[in-house]
Amino acid sequence: MENKDWRSPAIGVTPQEYADLVTKETPKPTLVKNLIWAFVVGGLICACAQIMINALKGLGLTAKEASNTATAIVIFFGALLTGFGVYDELVKRAGAGGIVPVSGFANSIVAPALEFKREGFVTGVGARIFTVAGPVLVFGIITSIGAGLCYFLLHR
Amino acid sequence: MSHKRMGNQTVVMEDPPEIITSYTVVGPMEGQGPLGGTFDRVWKDSLNQEQSWEKAESKMMEDALQGALTLSGIQQDQIDFQIGGDLLNQLISTHFAARSLGFPLIGLYGACSTMALSTALAGMLIDGHFARYVMVGVSSHHDTAERQYRMPTEHGNQRMMSAQWTVTGAASLLLGRSATGIAKINGAHPKVTAATIGRVVDLGVKDTNNMGAAMAPAVADTILNHLQDMKRQPSDYDLILSGDLGEVGWNLVKDILRQSKVKLGDEFADCGRMIYGADQDVHAGASGCGCSGVVFAGDILQKMRLGKLRRVLFVGSGALHSPISCFQGESIPGIGHAVVIET
């Protein structure tokens, strides 16, 4: 319940005026720098994966086997670099360039696993390992079900 | 109305309590900053061989309280109250530190304004003759705050330019009734002469990456009320020191007060803009209970003891939200508490 009789604040600025002031004083993201970093780092991760796919195909794997193996390797390095405390430093600069590749997904699972270890394996790691990745999984699975249904109906 | 009250929100001490000693403990990053030399102890790493960051923060507060007590030469059982708080749920840093120290405890939550709020209340307790000696202790820890308010610490994400960096640090004060006969350590004892308890002000900022903007209206409101209550001008102070507004909030307070025809000049500083250097990549500045705590209990009190500052208005700033309230779409209620410190 709002108290209508209260002494109004001493400041004279209205919420609308203040919203304009906040916009004026809040620094803008360093967009160009961020874009370049994201492009270079995201591109490098993908280029490395492509080199691995090509090399694995050269070793006699089928295209599907090669891409699955390369994905697993990128996940492994994402997890490893998270453990060494390097991956968050990389994403700080590269943004989506480090988040969108599958190594970023590995980071989003390994980081809470490390974080909540001290609260126990069940109540900590087990319960909270998907705090970051959970929404991605939930809505990813829902979307894939929708896409699968469309595919089924259109190709019947 | 009591003769100790001035105007709407201000109390004036009749027999101003003294800040007898103070002590600060900080993490490595704070130690490397521009104020590194003003802290009593700098930890080499932010875990300090403890089992968890929460334990480390609690130990930090314990060390800070123990430090100020040892410096004063006052006995542990002479302390009538420990008063203070931290940022963690259920004030665990404060409560676990108090478990070791055994002082009668008053736990306070004022978010990052806790240092100013605790100092004000400690002053009132002593001036009201409810206590002879009171210890104030506050703490914050970057990693405990990250995991409670934001993301797991190793999770990769890009911080906004308006975001602030939670200080790893604990600060303590030992306040006592004046003329207690304690030898003056390092010069004069600064005194708590008045306090203005702030009101919650919320102008609708919802962005948790822009806490300075959320708190600025409350700080400006408290400064205005204080000046009106005390019939003073900003120029009556050598320093008006806000808690942790950071770059964005500090500028916003000046903008808001300009509209009320109050001009803040060089005497207006912010703890959040002082702890880290430009090369430390913290974006808009520092935050946390430890931010205003270690700057006030370190640098500012040292300058006061040496007579470089005579009258300081210290305005702690707090953002009184929780992760739950933010996820539910609530805006961030801000608060500012002011104390006047004089030598």
Pick the residue of A22, A86, A129 with the most B CBs within 10 A to test the interface with B by mutation: A22
Do the Cβ atoms of B270 and B285 come closer than 8 Å? yes
B255 lies within 8 A of chain A by CB: yes
Smallest Cβ distance to A95: which of B152, B158, B221?
Answer: B158
B228 touches A at CB < 8 Å? yes
In A, minimum Cα distance to B229 occurs at A10
Nearest CB partner across the interface for B210, out of A26, A83, A108: A26
Residue B157 with chain A: CB contacts under 8 Å = 88, 91-92, 99
Which residues of chain B form CATH 3.40.47.40? 17-176, 191-342
Per the structure block, which two tokens stand in for B312? 């300081």
- Per-block average pLDDT, block size 10, for chain B (343 residues)? 88 96 97 97 96 96 97 95 97 96 96 97 97 97 94 88 95 87 70 97 95 97 97 97 96 96 94 95 94 98 95 98 95 98 95
Homologous superfamily of domain range B191-342: Stage V sporulation protein AD (3.40.47.40)
Burial class (CB in 10 A: 0-12, 13-18, 19+), B222: buried
3-state SS string for chain B? CCCCEECCCEEECCCCCEEEEEEEEECHHHHCCCCHHHCCEECCCCCCCCCCHHHHHHHHHHHHHHHHHHHHCCCHHHCCEEEEECCCHHHHHHHHHHHHHCCCEEECCCHHHHHHHHHHHHHHHHHCCCCCEEEEEEEECHHHHHHHHCCCCCCCCCCCCCCCEECCEEEEEEEECCCCCCCCCCCCCCEEEEEECCCCECCCCCCCCCHHHHHHHHHHHHHHHHHHHHCCCHHHCCEEEECCCHHHHHHHHHHHHHHCCCCCCCCEEEHHHCCCCHHHCCCCCEECHHHHHHHHHHHHHHHHHCCCCCEEEEEEEEECCCHHHHHCCCCCCEEEEEEEEEC
Which residue in A7, A17, A107 is closest to B8 by CB distance? A7
Interface of A with B in 92-121 (CB under 8 A): 92-93, 95, 98-99, 104, 107-108, 110-112, 114-116, 118
Residue A109 CB burial class (10 angstroms; 0-12, 13-18, ≥19): buried
Q: Given this model, what pLDDT does residue B184 score?
A: 62
Cβ-nearest to B255 among A21, A95, A116: A21
- Backbone conformation region of residue B113, classed left if phi is above 0, alpha if psi is from -120 to 50, else beta: alpha
| Superfamily classification of domain B17-176 | Stage V sporulation protein AD (3.40.47.40)
B151 touches chain A (CB under 8 A): yes
Query: With an 8 Å Cβ cutoff, is B260 touching chain A?
Result: yes
pLDDT value at position B154? 87
Rounded distance, CA B268 to CA A75, Å?
A: 50
Contact across the interface for A11 and B256, Cβ inside 8 Å: yes
A29 Cβ under 8 Å from any chain B Cβ: yes
Residue B3 has what pLDDT? 84
Min Cα–Cα distance to chain B from A48, Å: 20
Give me the pLDDT at residue B151, please: 87
Q: Say if residue B21 is exposed, middle or buried (CB neighbours under 10 Å; 0-12, 13-18, 19+).
A: buried
User: Which of residues 152 through 191 in chain B touch A, CB cutoff 8 A?
Assistant: 152-162
The structure tokens 């709407």 sit at: B8
Q: Which residues of B touch A26 (CB under 8 A)?
A: 161-162, 210, 213, 248
Distance from the Cα of A49 to chain B's closest Cα (Å) equals 20
What is the structure's pLDDT at B157?
87
Of B155, B248, B257, the CB nearest to A111: B155
The answer to whether B203 contacts chain A (CB < 8 Å) is yes
DSSP secondary structure, chain A, as one string = ---TTSPPPS----HHHHHHHHHHHSPPP-HHHHHHHHHHHHHHHHHHHHHHHHHHHHTT--HHHHHHHHHHHHHHHHHHHHHTT-HHHHHHHHTHHHHSSHHHHHHHHHHHHHHGGGG-IIIIIIHHTTTTTHHHHHHHHHHHHHHHHHHHHHT-
Contact A29 B161 (CB under 8 A): yes
**Closest CB from B156, B213, B228 relative to A88:** B156
Residue A28 has pLDDT above 70, yes or no: yes
Give yes or no for a contact between B8 and B20, defined as CB atoms under 8 angstroms apart: no
Cβ-defined contact of A115 to B213 (cutoff 8 Å): no
Chain A contact for B52 (CB, 8 A cutoff): yes
Among A27, A30, A88, select the one facing B154 at the smallest CB separation.
A88
| Whether A12 and B259 lie within 8 Å, measured CB to CB | yes
Q: Which of A6, A23, A25, A86 to mutate to test the interface with B (most CBs of B within 10 A)?
A: A25
Buried b or exposed e, range B259-273, using 16+ CB within 10 angstroms: ebebebeeebbbbbb
Contacts of B8 in chain A (CB under 8 A): 7
Nearest-CA neighbor of B163 among B329, B292, B282? B282
Q: Closest partner residue to B151 among A12, A110, A132, by Cβ?
A: A132
User: From A13, which residue of chain B is nearest by alpha-carbon distance?
Assistant: B256
Does B252 reach chain A within 8 Å, measured CB to CB? yes
**Is residue B22 a contact partner of residue B69, using CB atoms and an 8 Å limit?**
no
